[in-house]
Amino acid sequence: MDDGIERNLGAQPIADIMAEHGLKPHDLVAASTQQLTHKMVTRACKGRKLTDNTKTKVLNALNLAAEKNYTLSEIFNY
């Protein structure tokens, strides 16, 4: 079943940002005030296409954990 939509988009900038701050997926899950799972964070880093809602949850958790204000365009390249 091929619907013509590319879902795997390669490593994303969020992976480098997390490494720069010494963060693991668990750190984002622990910092999140929303329902965020380890699987969501891992998929975000690997470049699996995410919904806008999930991307926002990951962004909010990253901003809390890193104590910075990143934007979606800085952490995802799609």
Domain around 36: 13-73
So what's the pLDDT on residue 3? 63
Q: Is residue 4 part of a domain?
A: no
Q: Are 29 and 36 in contact (CB under 8 A)?
A: yes
Domains: count for the chain: 1
Distance CA 52, CA 19 (A): 23
Q: Is residue 34 part of a domain?
A: yes
Q: Is residue 2 part of a domain?
A: no
Per-residue pLDDT of the chain in tens (78 residues, 90 and over written 9): 556 666 777 889 999 999 999 999 999 999 999 999 999 999 999 999 999 999 999 999 999 999 999 999 999 998
Q: Are 44 and 12 in contact (CB under 8 A)?
A: yes
Q: Is residue 8 part of a domain?
A: no
The pTM score is 0.88
So what's the pLDDT on residue 1? 55
Question: What single DSSP character describes residue 45?
Answer: H
